[in-house]
Amino acid sequence: MTKSEGLSAILQAVMRNSAKAAKDKYYPRWHLAPITGLLNDPNGFCFDGKYYHLFYQWDPLSCEHKNKCWGHWRSKDLITWQHQPIALLPDEFYDKDGCYSGSAVIHQGQLTLCYTGNVKFDDGSRTAWQCLAVENQRGGFDKLGPVLGLPEGYSGHVRDPKIWQHNDKWYMVLGAQTLDKQGKVLLYRASHLYQWQLIGELAGSHLGGLDDAGYMWECPDLFELSGHFILLTCPQGIKKEQYRFLNSHSSAYLMGSFDYSTLQFQHGDLIELDAGFEFYAPQTTQVNGRRLLFGWMGVPDGEEMYQPTIANGWIHQMTCPRELQIREGQLYQQPVKELQQLRQNVQYWQGIADDAPEINGFCVELEVELIDSLLIQFSDSLELTIENNQAILKRRSVKNGEWQSRFWSGDIKHLQILCDSSSVEIFFNHGLGVMSSRFFPSAKKIINFSGKNTIKLTTWQLNDALFS
């Protein structure tokens, strides 16, 4: 498909489907979501000094994982977002089967994208190129082509470059799979963005004290936070445990130390980043001393193709933007403070949970202080139970209606819950744990509380965010 043919097809899809998506009762009122088609990984999250930029994997032509383009939003405040020209289309020989995920930096005064060009062959094999594109005066991007081919000893599953600069050098982490199907993160270094040197395997299966940890590590992101180095990754094929890594694919992190002189990463165990039903492919950026994160509120290869929004021509959304912090040696995630501007009509209540007023509507934020056990029901489709130092999030399967469960363990004293039309993000103990999930209630949108213990409840209605 040529670029002009692709743009024409996308324009037709937007004109045909966007009004239907916007009227869907499940379409978010303040989260980012596609105007049509399928959205997945956040890409190129960065700040240019004036605007936040968030690119995203997008199939505008269907609710399938095909036709992977890069859509583009920008914002001055992380609340009001503007659509920008489509950044990347799969219209070159080196990215003809998809412009896969990557990152963005400001280089020589230009917003520069680094992404994976995916190429599939007739015999079922594939290859991958790491490619560059630079912003032009029209707000679109001009492709510069590949700067890195497939490294020796790895399959065609090498993708998702995250690049950053430290002192006078550029660095890249890259998700990879060895020929014997072991997931790794590769580390590269460069003096400029056009010629990269492979340093070696930074982390992965059978490295750094880990056992078998999956067949492919996607979406790596390495950064320093309060003297600790964090490697975010999505280890596909990691073994499910009783209470962790229960999704079809999970998002996790390693915490440790990284030495720029030796380029060695020492770390502890894999920790699940978000324990909910839908969270994947997180990407961060550094802005004025803050480490900010967006994630995809979806999971590949799960029940996504049974979600009811497909009937209205769209699927998936982003998480809320979050700020990461280290407190007492542990990683915390919290909604960015800018989101408080959406709050209105605050209400306070204290008493026995059984007597708490029901809350109408899902476009709300809740803050709950609790002593012990508590049950929160979100209509007929989602339940949060807290008892015996454990949170259990139960949701009806969109495939067969059966109840499924996810877990987070800890002595829970505080909840911050952000709801939208078909999503919930639950932050435990000021962000020490998080559960993000989509849900699609068939009944009236009501939140109920149950329990014999005292709770303190603060409730805000949330204004719609603005999109243009």
Instruction: Give 165-179 as a DSSP string.
Output: EETTEEEEEEEEEBT
CA distances (Å), 293 to each of 142, 219, 380, 419, in order? Answer: 27, 13, 31, 18
CA distances (Å), 15 to each of 9, 36, 66, 87, 258, in order? Answer: 10, 9, 20, 19, 49
Q: What is the dihedral of CA 25, 28, 34, 40, to 10 degrees?
A: -120
**24, 41, 142, 180: the active-site residue:** 41
Relative to beta strand 454-462, strand 446-450 is unpaired
Given a contact cutoff of 8 angstroms between Cβ atoms, the answer to whether 309 and 17 are in contact is no
Relative to beta strand 314-315, strand 37-47 is parallel
Residue 466, number of CB atoms within 10 A of its CB: 12
Given a contact cutoff of 8 angstroms between Cβ atoms, the answer to whether 202 and 231 are in contact is yes
Given a contact cutoff of 8 angstroms between Cβ atoms, the answer to whether 268 and 254 are in contact is yes
Given a contact cutoff of 8 angstroms between Cβ atoms, the answer to whether 141 and 134 are in contact is yes
Provide the residue type at 380 as one letter.
Answer: D
In 3D space, the residue among 382, 274, 257 whose CA is nearest the CA of residue 322 turns out to be: 274
H/E stretch holding 5 reads: helix 3-22
58: three-class secondary structure by DSSP: strand
321: three-class secondary structure by DSSP: coil
Annotation marks residue 160 as catalytic: no
In 3D space, the residue among 87, 19, 5 whose CA is nearest the CA of residue 53 turns out to be: 87
Q: What is the dihedral of CA 5, 33, 422, 389, to 10 degrees?
A: 130
In 3D space, the residue among 336, 303, 310, 302 whose CA is nearest the CA of residue 54 turns out to be: 336
Relative to beta strand 359-360, strand 99-107 is unpaired
CA dist., res. 412 & res. 414, Å (int): 6
Residues that are catalytic:
41
